[in-house]
Structure formats: structure tokens, C-alpha cells
Amino acid sequence: MDKQIQMEEFEKYLRFQNMSENTIRSYLYAIRQYNQLFPELTYSNLQLYKLYLLEHYKPQTVNLRIHALNSFLNYTEWPDEKILQVRIQQKGYLDRIISEGDYEYLKSRLLSDGQYLYYFLIRFMAATGARVSEVVQFTVDDVRNGYKDIYSKDNKIRRIYVPALLQRDTMRWLKQTERLSGDLFLNHSGVRISAGGIRRQLKTLAARYHLDEAVVYPHSFRHRFAKNFIERCSDITLLSNLLGHESIETTRIYLRRSSSEQKAIINKVVDW
């Protein structure tokens, strides 16, 4: 089969699997990269591609490309062994997460400066655990109802709850701006804000308020939600469901302390 036609058929296969647009793009990129490096699909070439990835990319990226290749092999009904992913050594701490103090400081500065859009955006991420791709989907009706149902790639429904305090404050903001329906978070043009726009603006806000840019990014607020939740409620199974994790093992990372928390404990405890 012609490679271009095969790529088009593979893309249809991925869409049938209900994969996200970002996942489809990354999978197609991996296959195109393999095709550029190797003329044939053979087990030997697959192993050489893995070595190429290990030499040029971080382990997380290597595993993403390998996962894409294995998906392609499933599509082609590949008869031989799949490519094994690389083992990533788990850190003993949770890093790159905004502290509770910096989160509260950022909220207060945004509120005092009248930056209501980003004030509510970071509150929604930190108080619901929603991914940035999910939080931009919230509508006024979702706030009014107190929850949003998100459909996952395997057609399962995950319910994201809007806590009562956040619901009350948001409805007050919407009333002041005379917003009765439609998307909740709008850009300057009055259309739904993009995840990329949020990421870029958060970096700008971090610089403006002299915060560490390494911890001011969308997923950091989702981490903050998980850390706060597990400290107040020990039900890790519930947390796993709220975050939409496929495995509870993924959620266990939030039982760890950050490196700064570990250092503070050591400084307090070790006096010998």
C-alpha cells in the first residue's frame, strides 16, 4: 500500500479509537519520522528507531513515540513482537507544582488587578482538577448546574464538579458581566479561549508577579487540586476518579511530598 494512503487510513483508524486531536497529531508525526528514517517496516528497523529515539529525546518522548509505533503495528496487524517502552525511574518527590502560598498570592493579585478571566481560570483548574483542555469547555450552564460531564476517548463519562463556593463566586461574576449562556471563558474576540493562549498568558503573569515560571502552567493547578484534596481527604480512589486517571497507581504520586516540602521537613527534624 502507498505510504500516503496508509497514513490516511491510519488517521481514520485513530479517529475511530476516539483519540484526541493532539494524540492523533503526535502519533502521525512519529510514523512520518519513522518512514523518513527507514524505508521498510521490519523488526530490526523498529529496534534501530528505538535507539535513535533514546539518543535524541527524553524518556517520556521516547515512550510516546513507541506507543505511537505500537498503535500503528496494531493497525497493520503486525505479527511479530511490539516495541518495549523504556522504564522511567520514578522520583521520590513531586516537583514543578505551585505552592499553596504562591497560588493564594497569584489569586489575590489577579483579583486586585481586575484580571477576572485568569482569576477564575486558575480557580477552576485548582478547585476542580480539570485539565486545561477540559476547563475551556465549561459553559455558563455547567456552572449553573454545578458540574460538567466530560466524555473520554473510550466513551466513558467523567463528571467534574464545581464546588459551591466557586459556583457562587462565578455566578456573581457572570451576573455582573451580564453573561447568561455560552462558553464560560472567552478571549478578547468573544470566542472560547484556547489552551495555548492560557499557557502563554500564564507565563506572562508569572513574570509580572515575580513568580517562578516553571510552576505557573495549567497542569500545575491540577496538581494543586490533587495535593490539597489528598491532604484533606484520604480517599485516593475517589481522587483517581475525579482526575480521570486510568490507574490508581498514577494517582499515588500525590501521596509524595514536593522536594521543597521534603527539604523543610529535614531542616526542621534533623538537628544532630
pLDDT at 88 over 70: no
Q: In terms of domains, do 147 and 253 share one?
A: yes
The pLDDT assigned to 17 comes to 81
Note whether residue 58 is domain-resident: yes
Q: In terms of domains, do 116 and 246 share one?
A: yes
Number of domains within the chain: 2
Higher-pLDDT residue of 128, 153 = 128
Q: In terms of domains, do 117 and 240 share one?
A: yes
DSSP-derived 3-state class of residue 222: helix
Q: Which of 42, 75, 108 is the last residue of a domain?
A: 75
Q: In terms of domains, do 118 and 43 share one?
A: no
The pLDDT assigned to 120 comes to 96
Please, which pLDDT band fits residue 154 given cuts at 50, 70 and 90?
low
pLDDT at 255 over 90: no
pLDDT at 93 over 60: no
Cβ(49)–Cβ(36) under 8 Å? Answer: no
What is the separation of C-alpha 10 from the centre of its chain, rounded to a whole number of angstroms? 25
Range of the domain at 64: 3-75
Tens-place pLDDT, residues 120-139: 999 999 999 999 999 999 99
What is the separation of C-alpha 75 from the centre of its chain, rounded to a whole number of angstroms? 26
d(C-alpha 257, C-alpha 248), whole Å: 18
CATH number of the domain bearing residue 214: 1.10.443.10
Q: In terms of domains, do 247 and 129 share one?
A: yes
Note whether residue 93 is domain-resident: no
155 Rama sector, left if φ>0, alpha if ψ -120 to 50, beta otherwise = left
d(C-alpha 202, C-alpha 118), whole Å: 8
Note whether residue 80 is domain-resident: no
- Which residue is associated with the grid cell 480557580? 123
Q: In terms of domains, do 155 and 199 share one?
A: yes
Q: In terms of domains, do 22 and 127 share one?
A: no
Neighbouring residues of 242: CB distance < 8 A, sequence distance ≥ 6: 129, 160, 161, 229
CATH number of the domain bearing residue 54: 1.10.150.130
Tens-place pLDDT, residues 27-66: 999 999 999 999 888 888 999 999 899 888 888 888 999 9
Cell of 115: 484580571
pTM recorded for the entire structure: 0.64
